[in-house]
């Protein structure tokens, strides 16, 4: 197996529950090569969700369909990032010392803050998916495919965070697999995300049946990447200050946050067109 194929398979095995049946060594070298394909994992997840939404738009009202799409979205990731969101909420909202917060994040049990944060996030995402549906007049038009950019750029930011901020636990924990990630791999992951964005926006631009698509196109090409970077940077910096770095859980939390922020921005774009 070539190193590139091995890295791609490792990315899909680690970040999704898609059936990639290959024996991949779970080593830092392989995992660090795999980050280049993180945006591709996000794109595949997004395409599955939006493709299913296109089909469901013909048979179900917007609310149950939005809930089904969210269930599928979570299932495709195995709840990996949602688990990080809950653990991070339990720790960061506890207002404890750095050492105690890191202990809370290692605890397999979920506390009240984690449960509330999870419920509110899922409610927000379901509402946003429903809003995209309703703003598309009950049928998913080409513009709805902008949703694919949410999992693409959220996974790119995880790669950026691995490079940009220190590891809170040093050589311990899952995040240690990515210690020493190179700038070249971070840039390559960013190039992959940018390429996917250009392809998605370009295809929708060609197929769009509205003259207002230029606003959606410009928003997708420039503002979604910028918003993902800006919101992620502010949040990651705050997390790093409180924890002395980032952990695997905080990477997942950042992914969930950026997905929600991008969905909000997509709804705003659709509202303006």
229 or 169, which is more confident: 229
On whether the CB atoms of residues 162 and 245 are closer than 8 A, the answer is no
Residues 213-256: pLDDT tens digits?
A: 666 677 777 889 999 999 999 999 999 999 999 999 999 999 99
Q: Residue 1: its pLDDT value, please?
A: 55
The string of pLDDT tens digits covering residues 258-273 is: 999 999 998 988 887 7
Distance of CA 269 to the CA centre of its chain: 19
Q: Cβ(87)–Cβ(115) under 8 Å?
A: no
Three-class SS of residue 167?
strand
Give pLDDT, residue 208: 62
**φ and ψ at residue 60, rounded to 5 degrees:** -130, 155
Where residue 111 falls (left for φ over 0; alpha for ψ -120 to 50; beta otherwise) is beta
pTM beyond 0.85: the answer is yes
Token pair listed for 189: 């992951």
Q: For 134-162, what is the mean pLDDT?
A: 82
Q: Residue 209 above 70 pLDDT?
A: no
The pLDDT of residue 139 is 44
Q: In this predicted structure, what is the pLDDT of residue 54?
A: 85
Question: What is the pLDDT at residue 212?
Answer: 59
60 compared with 220, residue with greater pLDDT: 60
pLDDT tens per residue across span 100-141:
999 898 888 888 999 999 999 999 999 999 998 888 764 455
User: What is the SS3 assignment for 38?
Assistant: helix
Please check the confidence at residue 210 and state whether its pLDDT lies above 70: no
Structure tokens at 232: 């992620």
Phi, psi of 246 (to 5 degrees): -115, 160
Task: Give buried/exposed letters for 111-128 (b at 16+ CB in 10 A, else e).
Answer: bebbeebbeebbeebbeb
Q: What percent of the chain has pLDDT over 90?
A: 58
d(C-alpha 35, C-alpha 84), whole Å: 18
Which residue has 């013909």 as its token pair? 58
For the chain, domain boundaries? 29-272
């Amino acid at each position: 197996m070539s190193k590139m194929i091995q890295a791609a398979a490792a990315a899909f095995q680690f970040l999704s529950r898609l059936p990639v049946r290959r024996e991949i060594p779970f080593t830092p070298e392989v995992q660090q090569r795999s980050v280049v394909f993180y945006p591709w994992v996000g794109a595949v997840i997004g395409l599955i969700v939006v493709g299913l939404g296109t089909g469901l738009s013909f048979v179900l009202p917007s609310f149950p369909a939005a809930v089904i799409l969210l269930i599928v979205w979570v299932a495709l990731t195995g709840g990996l990032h949602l688990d990080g969101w809950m653990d991070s909420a339990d720790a960061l909202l506890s207002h404890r010392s750095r050492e105690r917060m890191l202990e809370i994040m290692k605890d397999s049990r979920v506390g009240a803050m984690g449960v509330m944060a999870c419920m509110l996030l899922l409610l927000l995402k379901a509402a946003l998916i429903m809003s995209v549906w309703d703003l598309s007049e009950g049928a998913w038009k080409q513009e709805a495919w902008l949703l694919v950019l949410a999992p693409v750029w959220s996974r790119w930011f995880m790669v950026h965070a691995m490079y940009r901020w220190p590891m809170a636990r040093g050589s311990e924990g899952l995040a240690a697999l990515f210690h020493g990630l190179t700038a070249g791999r971070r840039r390559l992951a960013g190039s992959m995300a940018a390429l996917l964005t250009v392809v998605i926006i370009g295809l929708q631009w060609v197929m769009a049946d509205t003259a207002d698509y230029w606003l959606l196109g410009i928003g997708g090409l420039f503002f979604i990447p910028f918003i993902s970077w800006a919101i992620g940077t502010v949040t990651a910096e705050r997390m790093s200050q409180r924890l002395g770095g980032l952990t695997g859980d905080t990477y997942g939390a950042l992914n969930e946050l950026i997905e929600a922020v991008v969905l909000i921005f997509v709804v705003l774009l659709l509202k303006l067109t």
